Structure 1
Amino acid sequence: MSESFTHIGRPLPRKEDRRLLTGRGRYLDDIVVAGALHVCFVRSPHAHARIVSIDTEAARALPGVTGVYTGRDLAEWTTNLRLAPPIEGLQPVEMTTLPVDTVRFHGDLVACVVAEDRYVAEDAAELVEVEYDVLPAVADTASALAEGAPLVDDDLSSNLVSQQSFSAGDVARRRQEAHRVVEARFNLHRHTHVPLETRGCLADWDAGREHLTMQIGNQVPHPLRSQLAARLRLAESQVTVISPDVGGGFGQKIALYREELTVAALSRHLCRPVRWREDRMENLTAASHAREYHCATRASVDADGRILGLELDLTEDFGAYCFYPANYMARVVAMILTGPYRIADYAFEVKVALTNKCGNGPMRAPMAITSWVMDGTIEAVARELGLDPLDVRRVNALTQADLPHTMPTGEVLADITPLETLEGAAAAMDVADFRARQEEARAKGRYLGLGISTVVESTTYGSGFYKAAGIPGSGHEAAWVRIEPSGAVNASVGLMGTGQGYESPLSQAVADGLGVTPEDVRLHMGHTDIAPYGMGSRGGRGATAGGGTLYLCARKAQEKVLAIAAGMLNLNDPQGLRLRNGRVERQLEGVWQATGLTLPDVARRAYLDPTALPEGMTPGLDVSLAYDPPPMTYSNATHACEVEVDVATGRVRIDRYVVAEDCGTVLNPVVVRGQQQGAVAMGLSGALLEQVVYDETGQNLTATLADYMVATACELPNLEIVAMNTPNRTTPAGIKGMSEGGVMGAIGVIASAVSDALSPFGVVVEQMPISPQSLRAALRGKTPNTK
């Protein structure tokens, strides 16, 4: 722990755990509103079809049914979503709230039933008769981009919704100069988020006040309110968004989805509270999906494996609808790909295609594929040249002498330690000892593998990053700190937690900034009438943007407290004063001494005796602050793991997993370790087990948890953390942020380890998930090279 902090860095228990673990949490389904109606959606069984007719008569006749509504009804009550940022190569897209004429994926919305309870609503939905004219579907990017392919969106000129190219340096010349040009391929499959709590909302329109209250588990309450108000043709002052406790989000609970907008519109139309809860099948088929990239790299290298030039071709399957600009996720991957390595000449071609699948959105670490692609390219170079992959990493790694380093795309890396974490992980794994054990095991027919993956994780996403990337959006955050007349401390920020454990670390940031204890701080989040307008929780910005803003705001509040305290002590100014654990102290002859004043004493003066305040000072202790962090901050880590692959069954067993991590100033080690464990677990689960599968007609074949497999504790390894944290010099308190790098590293390191284990067979992991079936198929007919 840094000596400059009293509370930041302490491993305090998570404040919210007491209520959550004792069953006193308040999730959406715990909120009871009298007279609330329930919604159930009718969904398409086809991937692509015209809606010929919808017969709702039988459903409306069912006792308890309030009404059945279609896309034409919602088109009257809401506006369309149009995404048309001025980005070259990006086609503008527009969608109605519910489809009016055409459904575009298996699970797409067709109609909605409103009833007195959920059971009646579901029964009535079964009675809605829909006649479809089935159309040809495109279920993969190759089909979508083929000449003459059926259009997913009839308003577009093609299914290529986005295409961007970039080049820095002279990659063509580097190819000519190269000792060798090495090619590699990487195919990351489709995932979905699987939050423990599925999507849901409760909308309550107050016709007298003309005000909508929307209770919804959401990561970004204020941007959601702005979208909701605009789509309902309301002023933002007519909408309140409240997020109660949220059972997981992972990026799935950011956008305003069509179901949620429909529920809000129905409440306004019916002047009744209306609620909806998604079931698991709906969540797996129709909430949002992620990943599904196809990448190819070409590395021009010298004889030592040094990368002279790098080229990337990336194609993303974006699904049927765009709730975000279609270039968003793929562009971030391409922009930060070179990450921990010293590469000056770089070019990319990024294509994003629409297909007849559930639409894509961000999932924890939208840039997750980058570490696999970059380290996988390094390993391809090592294989091609017969070099040690660890040595090739060292040759290309950024060193402290290289920093600050401007990446080819213009992103600036500073205050990171990629070579140091690489060496830290290698030392922890004792690579030489492992190689000796690996040779012994191979002689006995056992196949061990060592994987290494170095991560440079983008965290803050300040406004400058969005501007430079051509993506609409702000990265600022806002906070307030209010000290009540009794001395009680309230604080708020525009974030909303979805299980991260924000309450303790953010309280610690306030405590150190103000000079109180974390136990004295009460945090308020997730209510748009209470919290200041902020950009919410996404990426790794919770600590850097949220914690940093609260820290600065608390420092600002402390300045006023000490100015008042100076007057109370008959001092000319607050120099030499500090607030420590709620007590005002004065430095005399280098020693901090108690003054007898406390924060409650100062607060009473501020509120109840304003005429005694210093001249020109306003009453009260209510401070607000907005902060726009640097365009981007980065944390870094190196993951290393040892696996054993059973070549007879294709089973992968992880025997050891080490992470050497530099995530800057740690607000709370308990929370950070939880984030590290959770991120690695998500990455490994996705790499080994999870997969959304569609057949050639666009039917989702993984619509239940019997088919979409998620790792449990039985499949996951113990995680060893080697802390190598260094502060960032441009952010409040030196915070860097973290939470997504574990996903990135896990995907890269498991591919590296399995490829190493199967190197005697010439098998390289180019396709995920790394399932027993895929490994057996890759090994079929192969015998090990014993040389």
Structure 2
Amino acid sequence: MSEQTFRYLNKATPRTEDYRLLTGYGRYLDDIEIPGALHVCFVRSPHAHARIVSIDIHGAAAMPGVVSVITGLELAQWTTPFRIAPPVEGLKPVEFAAMPVDTVRFQGDLVACVVATDRYLAEDAAEQVLVEFEPLPVVTDMWQALEPNAAQVDPAVPGNLVSHQTYVHGDPERANTRAFRIVEATFQQQRQTHVPIETRGCAAVWDAGRNHLTFHIGTQVPHPLRTQLAQRLKLDESQVTVISPDVGGAFGQKIALYREELTVAALARHLKRPVRWREDRLENLTAAANSREDFCRTRAAVDERGTLLALELELREDFGAYCFFPANYLARVVAMILSGPYRLQDYAFDVKVVLSHKCGNAPMRAPMSITSWVMDGTLDAIARELELDPVEVRRRNLLGPAELPYRTATGECLDDITPTQTFEALLSALDYAGFRERQQAARAAGHYLGLGLCNVVEPTTYGSRFYKAAGIPGSGHEASWIRIEPGGVVNASVGLGPSGQGYESAMANAVAEGLGVPPSSVRIHMGHTDIAPYGMGSRGARSGTAGGGALYLCALDARRKVLAIAAGCLGLPDEQSLRLIDARIERRRADEWTDTGLTLADVARRAYLDPTALPQGLTPGLEFHLTYDPPAMTYSNAAHGCEIEVDVLTGAIRIARYVVAEDCGTLLNPTVVEGQQHGAVAMGLSGALFEHMRYDASGQNVTGSLADYLIATSTELPNLEIIPLHTPGKSTAAGIKGMAEGGVMGAIGALTNAVNDALAPFGVVADRHPLTPMLLRDLLRDKL
């Protein structure tokens, strides 16, 4: 399938939703007016670990405007506990209530909830809730958590080891014995958080007459969230409607049903009044969700030319106090795809995930973000150890086109990727040989330039077969419907949860391509569980492959029926000589297509208003529904290059150039894809340079404001050069491969490898993030 096959896909067009979002006409949660809504404020623990001795709510309850003050005891009667217990070997089951009753596990944990007639009264009253705590010992890092006498975070998880998986393929030990050298390298990624512009919030309206809950919330997964909300409130799913309006960023933080949101819904039902909640920035930074914080050690067995013979991975991850997701989920993906685009069969991993007295973890854009840095960083370590060129080491280990499809050591099938092509295109754009000459000249003048390279294979779309094989309950399918109205306008829906990615534009193109209408005539409806079909929502990069693929295939079904009806209108025996282009029916005569004068609106009117005139076997109307389960795993790939200069006197890093060569298959809309590329790289660079969710020895979060938790702004980020090298996938609808997270993976690796390239003359290696001036100065101390 080539680019010329498509009329609307692979064509850059402006995002249609931007007008309303940029002119103030967007409709976010706080724009939804709900008359008489009460407001919630949560009382949170000041301790990282403590027993709740007593809670005195009387002073708060007596304040003007306060409607109710509740604790975990009341919530336990209204809701069911949350339990995660997938049948995965080495994974401990966990369970916790909507609000702690006897023990808090991190600073910011829930203790009580105040409901008042406005937010200010609720916050004032929350300060009057008197809680007596008995502080308990605290676990503040993943190493301390595994010590024999460490404090227990969850009584059901002895030793704080919530997940432990090991794996061996081939014979790494034998490879080690015949290796020229064993090269070890370590990589440590710091704890981070998502920082969406719009923090978490929700509004619940209970209709007592219908026994029905309407729940407004910015979420990435409307239908799965509805299912969980109904279960935990002991309701049927038909009793719950979830509506997700415009969402100001999510990045993985808005997937889980959090305890605050469940509390708001339960309160609305109990009080029979609307209730709403919006967290402030302090709450978001301290109590929403954390991510990252993992440590990797690799042992690579290599020959004298740097060829990888075997690899062993030790991975440790700190999952925090609560598991809103299976604890093995994030680390497992890292271990599963670690080899990326490189040839490797003798491979072993040991992955441990621990609990600590910190805010619980959630996936963050590219939950496997450390993967490419670990793999390419290991190859750089091999190059340093053997005094080889890092490009030649990569070339020696990189999979070539003739080796694809390639079955990895963990059983994954790599196909439809182009790592050699993207890597060589990147090197050409960077003028690698020329850079090395400039680098040597700069060093002689006291300037330290570095070039970092990182090859990325991004898992974009997990099909149902992946979940089944991994022993994790869930589905990877997506659902869509299309309805062509009598006037020819096309309404379409898919079960995604948009949070600013440009889905309305991209998905309209998928429908337009499959059906044969202008994208401007397509209206996309998402985020409403009473309207959209039950889909698995937006996470990772599945939306393009699964969501766009489902709409494209559904549109093909619609086109077939439209052309069958058109054939009847034109008195033709079948539709083989017809096509639909820009909502007009054309007929082929010899080698020429001519307009028949028939439009989609003409066909639609007949379908709805004159069904007796339809060809035999066709039913009235033009409504279509389709579910699509993509392959077990879909991959895209890219090569990242980052040129930097390090001021060795101050430790400051200046990014001079950043180049990406990427192949993500057929593009729903190149404008949207480019925005995703820029955003992902920016997030990766920001995390590697600045972001750090820090806790002190007592478990206190010391980064509760944006003055302490630093993020990159446009002044710290480089211009990005994108080299599009897209080749359609052979196993997915329309050849879509997906993308959105690989930019994070590549940026982390390319930047860090660049820093180590610049510091090579001093014999030091930066093996942890963030790459602050203080870290670099510590490395260079006594080296200048």
Q: Give SS of 1:127's match.
A: coil
User: CA separation in 2, counterparts of 1:668 and 1:331?
Assistant: 32
Pairing of 1:368-379 with structure 2 (within 5 A): 368-379=369-380
- 1:742-768 residue CA offsets vs partner (Å, 9 max, x unmatched): 000000001000000000111111110
1:714 is displaced (CA, Å) by 0.2
The answer to whether residue 77 in structure 2 is matched with residue 76 in structure 1 is yes
Q: How many residues align?
A: 783
The answer to whether residue 457 in structure 2 is matched with residue 472 in structure 1 is no
1:458 alignment partner in structure 2: 459
- 1:564-603 residue CA offsets vs partner (Å, 9 max, x unmatched): 1111111111111111000011111011111111000000
2:339 alignment partner in structure 1: 338
User: CA separation in 2, counterparts of 1:683 and 1:407?
Assistant: 26
1:501 alignment partner in structure 2: 502
1:667 is displaced (CA, Å) by 1.4
| Letter matched to residue 277 of structure 1 | R
2:527 alignment partner in structure 1: 526
- 1:639-670 residue CA offsets vs partner (Å, 9 max, x unmatched): 00110000111100000000011111111111
User: CA separation in 2, counterparts of 1:157 and 1:652?
Assistant: 43
Q: Give SS of 2:167's match.
A: strand
User: CA separation in 2, counterparts of 1:586 and 1:4?
Assistant: 18
User: CA separation in 1, counterparts of 2:479 and 2:420?
Assistant: 35
1:156 is displaced (CA, Å) by 2.2
The answer to whether residue 122 in structure 2 is matched with residue 121 in structure 1 is yes
User: CA separation in 1, counterparts of 2:777 and 2:487?
Assistant: 68
User: CA separation in 2, counterparts of 1:753 and 1:387?
Assistant: 16
User: CA separation in 2, counterparts of 1:492 and 1:96?
Assistant: 35
1:635 alignment partner in structure 2: 636
User: CA separation in 2, counterparts of 1:470 and 1:750?
Assistant: 36
1:723 alignment partner in structure 2: 724
User: CA separation in 2, counterparts of 1:46 and 1:763?
Assistant: 39
User: CA separation in 1, counterparts of 2:593 and 2:554?
Assistant: 24
1:433 alignment partner in structure 2: 434
- 1:312-352 residue CA offsets vs partner (Å, 9 max, x unmatched): 00000000000001000000110000011010111101000
Q: Which runs of 5+ in 1 are unaligned?
A: none
Q: Give SS of 2:461's match.
A: coil
1:462 is displaced (CA, Å) by 0.8
2:770 alignment partner in structure 1: 769
User: CA separation in 2, counterparts of 1:663 and 1:404?
Assistant: 17
User: CA separation in 2, counterparts of 1:431 and 1:155?
Assistant: 54
User: CA separation in 2, counterparts of 1:634 and 1:764?
Assistant: 31
| Letter matched to residue 526 of structure 1 | G
The answer to whether residue 419 in structure 2 is matched with residue 418 in structure 1 is yes
| Letter matched to residue 589 of structure 1 | A
1:66 alignment partner in structure 2: 67
- 1:105-125 residue CA offsets vs partner (Å, 9 max, x unmatched): 011000000000000000000
1:771 is displaced (CA, Å) by 0.4
User: CA separation in 2, counterparts of 1:710 and 1:703?
Assistant: 13
| Letter matched to residue 714 of structure 1 | T
| Letter matched to residue 402 of structure 1 | E
1:423 is displaced (CA, Å) by 0.8
User: CA separation in 2, counterparts of 1:102 and 1:391?
Assistant: 56
1:167 alignment partner in structure 2: 168
Identity across matched positions, percent? 68
User: CA separation in 1, counterparts of 2:6 and 2:156?
Assistant: 57
2:56 alignment partner in structure 1: 55
The answer to whether residue 627 in structure 2 is matched with residue 626 in structure 1 is yes
User: CA separation in 2, counterparts of 1:55 and 1:531?
Assistant: 45
2:184 alignment partner in structure 1: 183
2:272 alignment partner in structure 1: 271
User: CA separation in 1, counterparts of 2:662 and 2:158?
Assistant: 46
| Letter matched to residue 63 of structure 2 | L
User: CA separation in 2, counterparts of 1:528 and 1:579?
Assistant: 31
Q: Give SS of 1:452's match.
A: strand
2:392 alignment partner in structure 1: 391
| Letter matched to residue 780 of structure 1 | R
The answer to whether residue 482 in structure 2 is matched with residue 487 in structure 1 is no
| Letter matched to residue 644 of structure 1 | E
User: CA separation in 2, counterparts of 1:2 and 1:185?
Assistant: 42
1:360 alignment partner in structure 2: 361
User: CA separation in 2, counterparts of 1:157 and 1:126?
Assistant: 35
User: CA separation in 2, counterparts of 1:304 and 1:663?
Assistant: 32
2:751 alignment partner in structure 1: 750
User: CA separation in 2, counterparts of 1:522 and 1:205?
Assistant: 30
The answer to whether residue 605 in structure 2 is matched with residue 604 in structure 1 is yes
| Letter matched to residue 715 of structure 1 | E
Q: Give SS of 2:588's match.
A: strand
User: CA separation in 2, counterparts of 1:406 and 1:211?
Assistant: 50
| Letter matched to residue 479 of structure 2 | A
Q: Give SS of 1:714's match.
A: coil
1:404 alignment partner in structure 2: 405
Pairing of 1:563-574 with structure 2 (within 5 A): 563-574=564-575
1:158 is displaced (CA, Å) by 2.1
What TM-score does the superposition give when structure 2 sets the normalisation length?
A: 0.99
1:469 is displaced (CA, Å) by 2.0
The answer to whether residue 70 in structure 2 is matched with residue 98 in structure 1 is no
1:11 is displaced (CA, Å) by 1.1
Q: Give SS of 1:373's match.
A: helix
Q: Which moved more, 1:565-574 or 1:530-539?
A: 565-574
1:561 alignment partner in structure 2: 562
1:456 is displaced (CA, Å) by 0.3
User: CA separation in 1, counterparts of 2:624 and 2:317?
Assistant: 45
1:471 is displaced (CA, Å) by 2.0
Q: Is contact 2:766-2:779 (8 Å) kept? A: no
The answer to whether residue 640 in structure 2 is matched with residue 664 in structure 1 is no
Pairing of 1:571-582 with structure 2 (within 5 A): 571-582=572-583
Q: Over aligned residues, Cα RMSD in angstroms?
A: 0.7
Q: Give SS of 2:165's match.
A: strand
Q: Which runs of 5+ in 2 are unaligned?
A: none
2:711 alignment partner in structure 1: 710
2:552 alignment partner in structure 1: 551
1:148 alignment partner in structure 2: 149
Pairing of 1:200-279 with structure 2 (within 5 A): 200-279=201-280
1:382 alignment partner in structure 2: 383
- 1:358-415 residue CA offsets vs partner (Å, 9 max, x unmatched): 0001000000000000000000111111100000000000110110001111110001
User: CA separation in 1, counterparts of 2:149 and 2:13?
Assistant: 60
Q: Give SS of 1:620's match.
A: coil
1:177 is displaced (CA, Å) by 1.1
What TM-score does the superposition give when structure 1 sets the normalisation length?
A: 0.99
